C-alpha cells in the first residue's frame, strides 16, 4: 500500500512539474512561422538587421533551408557588406531549389559587387556542363521524362522486333527500322546521362569562400607553404576535412585549378548550418 501511495505521488509530481516546464515552450510555439517571418521582414524594413537575422535564424532551425528565409538572410548579409556570406547562402538555396532562376540571378548580381581577381583556371568541361545544363534542368522532371521515354521507346523497339521475327518466320518483307523509336531511345540515353550527372553533382560537397582573401596551404598547418590564394565568393570543391588540435581544416579544390588546405571558417559549404554565414 505504501509503495502504491509513493508511486502515485511521484506520478502527480511528474505531471505537475512536467506541465510547468512545458508552459514556456508552448508560449514560444504559439508564434507561427508566418508571424516570425513577418516580424523579421518588418525589422529589415526598419534596418534593424541584427534582430531580423536572429529571428530568421530561429525560423531556420525549426524550418531549415526555406527559400524565403535563405533569401532574406542573404540580403541582410549584402547590407552588412558580407558578400561572400550572401553568395554562400544563395548557393545553399540553389542546392535545395536547383531550377529557380532568381537564385542564379542573385548569385551573379552579388558576384559583380566583388572586385575582379585574377586566378589561373583552365577550361573545365564539367563545370561548363554543370552551369549550362544541370542547373537549368529539374532533377525530378529529368527522371520522369527518362522513365516515359524508356517505356515508349522500348515498346516501339519491341514491337518492331516482334514484326521482324514474324517476317523471318513467314518469309515476308522485313519491316522498316523504327526511326521514331530509335530517336526516343537516344533521348532516353541523353536524359539518363543528365540524371546521373545531377546525382553525381549533388554528391560533391561545394563551398563558398567567405574571407576577402584566403591563403591555400600545402598541408593542414598554418606554417605550411602557401600554394595560391582564393577570394571572397569563389566556389570550391571540398574534398576532405581534418581536425588538427582545436582547428578544423578543409582540403579544397578550385575547379579547373589546384588543391590545398584552408581553415573551415574560411569556407562555407552547402551542407553547413545556415548560421555559419554570420560567424
Query: What CATH number has the domain bearing residue 212?
Result: 2.30.30.40
In a domain, 85, yes or no: no
pLDDT above 80 (res 125) = no
Centre a 10 Å sphere on the Cβ of residue 204 and count the other Cβ atoms it contains.
Answer: 14
258 pLDDT tier (thresholds 50, 70, 90): confident
In a domain, 178, yes or no: yes
pLDDT above 80 (res 255) = no
pLDDT at position 109: 93
- Based on the fold, state whether residues 230 and 188 are members of the same structural domain: no
What are the cell numbers at 115?
A: 572586385
Q: Which of 201, 222, 239 corresponds to the end of one domain?
A: 201
Instruction: Read off the pLDDT of each residue in 24-37 and give the average, rounded to a whole number.
Output: 64
Q: Which of 157, 177, 201 corresponds to the end of one domain?
A: 201
**Tens-place pLDDT, residues 59-70:** 999 889 899 999
In a domain, 130, yes or no: no
What are the cell numbers at 228?
A: 595560391
In a domain, 245, yes or no: yes
In a domain, 223, yes or no: yes
In a domain, 41, yes or no: no
Q: Distance between CA atoms of 254 and 204, rounded to whole angstroms?
A: 13
What are the cell numbers at 276?
A: 555559419
Write the DSSP string, 113-172: TSPP--------HHHHHHHHTGGGS-HHHHHHHHHHHHHHHHHHHHHHHHHHHHHHHHT-
Centre a 10 Å sphere on the Cβ of residue 187 and count the other Cβ atoms it contains.
Answer: 16
Instruction: Read off the pLDDT of each residue in 237-266 and give the average, rounded to a whole number.
Output: 88
- Based on the fold, state whether residues 223 and 254 are members of the same structural domain: yes
pLDDT at position 79: 93
In a domain, 143, yes or no: yes
- Based on the fold, state whether residues 184 and 218 are members of the same structural domain: no
pTM of the predicted structure, to 2 decimals: 0.74
Q: Which of 201, 219, 238 corresponds to the end of one domain?
A: 201
pLDDT at position 73: 94
- Based on the fold, state whether residues 181 and 230 are members of the same structural domain: no
The rounded radius of gyration (Å) of the Cα atoms in the chain is: 28
In a domain, 70, yes or no: no
Q: Specify the number of domains making up the chain.
A: 3
Domain limits for position 149? 139-201
What are the cell numbers at 124?
A: 573545365
- Based on the fold, state whether residues 144 and 168 are members of the same structural domain: yes
Instruction: Read off the pLDDT of each residue in 34-57 and give the average, rounded to a whole number.
Output: 91
- Based on the fold, state whether residues 231 and 166 are members of the same structural domain: no
- Based on the fold, state whether residues 186 and 215 are members of the same structural domain: no
pLDDT at position 99: 80
Amino acid at each position: 500500500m505504501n509503495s502504491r501511495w509513493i508511486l502515485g505521488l511521484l506520478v502527480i509530481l511528474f505531471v505537475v512539474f512536467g506541465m510547468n516546464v512545458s508552459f514556456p515552450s508552448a508560449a514560444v510555439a504559439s508564434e507561427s512561422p508566418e508571424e516570425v517571418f513577418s516580424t523579421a521582414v518588418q525589422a529589415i524594413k526598419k534596418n534593424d538587421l541584427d534582430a531580423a537575422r536572429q529571428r530568421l535564424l530561429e525560423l531556420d532551425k525549426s524550418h531549415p533551408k526555406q527559400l524565403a528565409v535563405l533569401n532574406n538572410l542573404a540580403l541582410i548579409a549584402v547590407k552588412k557588406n558580407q558578400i561572400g556570406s550572401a553568395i554562400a547562402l544563395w548557393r545553399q538555396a540553389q542546392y535545395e531549389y536547383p531550377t529557380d532562376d532568381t537564385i542564379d540571378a542573385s548569385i551573379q548580381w552579388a558576384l559583380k559587387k566583388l572586385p575582379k581577381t585574377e586566378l589561373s583556371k583552365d577550361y573545365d568541361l564539367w563545370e561548363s556542363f554543370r552551369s549550362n545544363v544541370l542547373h537549368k534542368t529539374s532533377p525530378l522532371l529529368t527522371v520522369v521524362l527518362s522513365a516515359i521515354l524508356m517505356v515508349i521507346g522500348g515498346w516501339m523497339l519491341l514491337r518492331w522486333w516482334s514484326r521482324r521475327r514474324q517476317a523471318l518466320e513467314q518469309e515476308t518483307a522485313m519491316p522498316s527500322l523504327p526511326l521514331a523509336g530509335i530517336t526516343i531511345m537516344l533521348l532516353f540515353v541523353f536524359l539518363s546521362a543528365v540524371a546521373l550527372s545531377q546525382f553525381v553533382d549533388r554528391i560533391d560537397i561545394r563551398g563558398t569562400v567567405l574571407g576577402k582573401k584566403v591563403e591555400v596551404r600545402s598541408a593542414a598547418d598554418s606554417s605550411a607553404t602557401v600554394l595560391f590564394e582564393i577570394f571572397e565568393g569563389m566556389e570550391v570543391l571540398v574534398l576532405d576535412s581534418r581536425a588538427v588540435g582545436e582547428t578544423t581544416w578543409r582540403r579544397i579544390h578550385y575547379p579547373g585549378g589546384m588543391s590545398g588546405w584552408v581553415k573551415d571558417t574560411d569556407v562555407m559549404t552547402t551542407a553547413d548550418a545556415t548560421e555559419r554565414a554570420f560567424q
